[in-house]
């Protein structure tokens, strides 16, 4: 079912391309808003074999059960949020929605309440270190890992993709503007680029 209310950008400035901050030959950080996303909260008891089996069939991958890990399914990324909770991230024109056949599983569309941003570049980890309390050193936070934490006093979910050292950041839409202002101020010394939005639409 298509959305009845269009999803406007949570932070309009994040979709205006350009290079800002310190003048450097290459931007130290790149920001790109992510659009066209389906974000679905999944809850279920991992002790139920029926739930795990049906989730694997529906998603095309086994649910990640180890803390702060992620898995890639047929149409989505599956991010661990807690012992019985995961976030499914896919294309809003795809098959990720509340109608997935999931025995003993409970699905809730949370897309309208979230903003998403892709952050990359050689200084991305240094940027996060300015306002994040968890250890993001490459020896500790590796490709495919995800973690819920706070950044500049805003609750966020960070996911380090398995390619190109790109971080995907998710936060509540109501805090997106505040977080964006903090990010660009913190990134200024490295020089940063606002890239074209990354669309997940299919």
Ordered domains of the chain (ranges, CATH):
12-36+113-199 (3.30.1360.120), 38-111 (3.30.70.1520)
pLDDT digits (tens, 9 = 90+) for 62-88: 999 999 999 999 999 999 999 999 999
pLDDT at 3: 52
Arithmetic mean of pLDDT, 81-102: 93
Q: Which residue has the tokens 């979910």?
A: 157
According to the model, what pLDDT value does residue 1 have?
Answer: 40
What CA–CA distance (Å, rounded) separates 186 from 202? 34
Does the pLDDT of residue 117 top 80, yes or no?
Answer: yes
Q: Closest Cα partner for 102 from 154, 64, 54, 50?
A: 54
Residue 44: per-residue pLDDT: 97
3-class DSSP state of 24: coil
Residue 13 has pLDDT above 80, yes or no: no
202 band by pLDDT with thresholds 50, 70 and 90? very low
pLDDT in tens, 31-57: 999 999 999 999 999 999 999 999 999
pLDDT of residue 2: 44
Segment (H or E) for 82: strand 76-82
Phi, psi of 26, deg, nearest 5: -140, 135
Mean pLDDT of the chain: 91
**pLDDT for position 6:** 57
50/149 Cα distance (integer angstroms): 31
**Nearest Cα residue to 24 out of 176, 198, 188, 194:** 188
Q: Determine the average pLDDT of the residues in 107-126.
A: 95
**Predicted structure pTM score:** 0.91
Mean of pLDDT values over 142-147: 95
Nearest 5°: phi and psi at 114? -125, 150
Question: What pLDDT is stored for residue 163 in this prediction?
Answer: 67
- In the predicted structure, residue 4 carries a pLDDT above the cut 70: no
Question: Whole-angstrom Cα distance, residue 18 to residue 99?
Answer: 39
Q: Which two tokens stand for residue 130?
A: 């300015």
Length of the chain equals 202
DSSP class of residue 113 equals G
Q: Would the pLDDT of 26 be above 90?
A: no
User: What is the C-alpha to C-alpha distance for residues 7 and 112, in angstroms, rounded to an integer?
Assistant: 7
Higher pLDDT, 199 or 147: 147
Mean pLDDT lowest among 8-22, 124-138, 186-200 = 8-22
CB 136 within 8 A of CB 128: yes
- What the block records as the tokens of 159 is 């996911």
């Amino acid at each position: 079912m298509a959305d009845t209310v269009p999803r406007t950008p949570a932070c309009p400035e994040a979709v205006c391309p350009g290079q800002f901050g310190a003048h450097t030959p290459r931007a130290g950080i790149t920001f790109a808003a992510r659009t066209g996303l389906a974000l679905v909260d999944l809850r279920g008891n991992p002790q139920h074999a029926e739930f795990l089996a049906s989730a694997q069939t529906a998603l095309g991958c086994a649910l990640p059960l180890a803390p702060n890990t992620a898995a890639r399914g047929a149409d989505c990324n599956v991010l661990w949020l807690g012992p019985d909770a995961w976030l499914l991230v896919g294309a809003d024109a795809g098959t990720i929605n509340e109608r997935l056949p999931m025995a003993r599983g409970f699905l809730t569309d949370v897309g309208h309440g979230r903003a998403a941003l892709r952050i990359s570049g050689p200084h991305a980890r240094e940027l996060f270190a300015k306002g994040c309390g968890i250890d993001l050193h490459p020896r500790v936070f590796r490709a495919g890992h995800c973690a819920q934490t706070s950044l500049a006093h805003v609750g966020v979910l960070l996911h380090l993709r398995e390619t190109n050292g790109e971080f995907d950041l998710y936060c509540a839409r109501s805090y997106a503007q505040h977080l964006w202002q903090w990010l660009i101020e913190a990134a200024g010394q490295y020089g940063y680029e606002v890239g074209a939005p990354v669309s997940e639409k299919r």
